[in-house]
Amino acid sequence: HDNQIVFGTANGMTISTGLEYGPDNEANTGGQWIQNGGTANNTTVTGGGLQRVNTGGSVSDTVISAGGGQSLQGQAVNTTLNGGEQWVHEGGIATGTVINEKGWQAIKSGAVATDTVVNTGAEGGPDAENGDTGQTVYGDAVRTTINKNGRQIVAAEGTANTTVVYAGGDQTVHGHALDTTLNGGYQYVHNGGTASGTVVNSDGWQIIKEGGLADFTTVNQKGKLQVNAGGTATNVTLKQGGALVTSTAATVLGSNRLGNFTVENGKADGVVLESGGRLDVLEGHSAWKTLVDDGGTLAVSAGGKATGVTMTSGGALIADSGATVE
């Protein structure tokens, strides 16, 4: 197998071999190997090529095209994945990776990626688990930027800290997401996943699925928090013009512009609905003191009861036959 073993410095090399046994396979012995103390700058890795950065080795400004890969146990700065892949192993640190169309960065347990820019992964549509493009986090991802078409998947054992998601991008959370900002992007919190400190700005959308948990979410004007049946959101701050979409089968606790509100155990109290917000009161459940303002919808199922409803111009009330609204 053709290979280049680097103990010193290698500049401007092109690597097109090394992946004889397929991507991220320890059996591969070819390609460019950066050893402890070695550095490689401005490397181009093409289809079938492997750049392996061992512990103590470092690389910068590597460009990896489709079919090429970088296996990282040392440090890599400013890697660009133009369809290529970067596998960050335990102890490895990737800084400033840019993931372009069909590129994939996998951050293993014990590995860290900081300041990553994700431009791919969501082409399959919202919340589709395609999993082999974008960024997949089993370790730690810090200060990630997710742009249009970008996706970060945080696996059950993974943590994402200080992520910013723009319109057309999304973050799928099975593990832990801390301090995410949704600037038009979406965050999906799945069963067993937790999101803490999410800020939902205009056109952003946080969706808490059954078994998912959000704590300390702030919903600003034109942002939306959706809590599905069996989902939980605690310490919510719902600002004026923010939307809450939920039902009495969810748990939502927090404050809005009228004070504290609760949705739990089939009872809603003090909910404000506006700007696309909606509360579904299910059979056998109840809502007390609901304000339905412009753009808000209160829907009461047969056998459900809403008491103390205040309707304003632009609010909508949907009451099934057999519903009670007082």
Helix (H) or strand (E) holding 3: strand 3-6
Q: Average pLDDT for residues 110-115, to the nearest whole number?
A: 99
Whole-number pLDDT of residue 124 = 75
Q: Rounded CA gap, 17 and 52, in Å?
A: 11
% of the chain at pLDDT higher than 70: 98
> Which residue in 238, 183, 188 sits closest to 216, CA to CA?
238
272 domain residue, yes or no: no
Whole-number pLDDT of residue 132 = 82
> Which residue in 133, 109, 113 sits closest to 123, CA to CA?
133
Whole-number pLDDT of residue 240 = 98
Whole-number pLDDT of residue 126 = 74
pLDDT greater than 90 at residue 134: yes
pLDDT greater than 90 at residue 3: no
pLDDT greater than 70 at residue 214: yes
Q: What is the pLDDT of residues 225-237, one digit of tens each?
A: 999 999 999 999 9
Q: Average pLDDT for residues 298-318, to the nearest whole number?
A: 98
More confident site: 243 or 5: 243
Q: Rounded CA gap, 287 and 268, in Å?
A: 4
pLDDT greater than 70 at residue 131: no
Q: Which domain holds residue 119?
A: 3-259
User: Is 113:136 a contact under the CB 8 Å cutoff?
Assistant: no
320 domain residue, yes or no: no
Q: Average pLDDT for residues 133-158, to the nearest whole number?
A: 98
| CATH number, residue 127 | 2.160.20.20
Identify the DSSP state of 127: T
Q: Rounded CA gap, 224 and 203, in Å?
A: 7
Calculate the average pLDDT of the chain: 97
**Collapsing DSSP states into helix, strand and coil, what is residue 93?**
strand
315 domain residue, yes or no: no
Q: What is the pLDDT of residues 59-110, one digit of tens each?
A: 999 999 999 999 999 999 999 999 999 999 999 999 999 999 999 999 999 9
324 domain residue, yes or no: no
Give me the sheet containing 291-292, strands edge to edge.
272-273, 291-292, 310-311
Whole-number pLDDT of residue 128 = 67
71 domain residue, yes or no: yes
Whole-number pLDDT of residue 130 = 61
**Collapsing DSSP states into helix, strand and coil, what is residue 91?**
coil
pLDDT greater than 80 at residue 13: yes
Residue 125 neighbours by CB distance under 10 Å:
8
Q: Is 216 exposed, middle or buried (0-12, 13-18, 19+ CB in 10 A)?
A: middle
User: Is 143:156 a contact under the CB 8 Å cutoff?
Assistant: no
% of the chain at pLDDT higher than 90: 96
Identity of the residue numbered 100: N
301 domain residue, yes or no: no
Residue 129 pLDDT class (50, 70, 90 cuts): low
Helix (H) or strand (E) holding 282: none
Residue 143 pLDDT class (50, 70, 90 cuts): very high
Q: Tokens at residue 267, please?
A: 């009872």
pLDDT greater than 90 at residue 125: no
176 domain residue, yes or no: yes
Per the structure, the count of domains in the chain is 1
316 domain residue, yes or no: no
* pTM given for the model: 0.96
User: Is 179:162 a contact under the CB 8 Å cutoff?
Assistant: yes
Q: Tokens at residue 283, please?
A: 């059979």
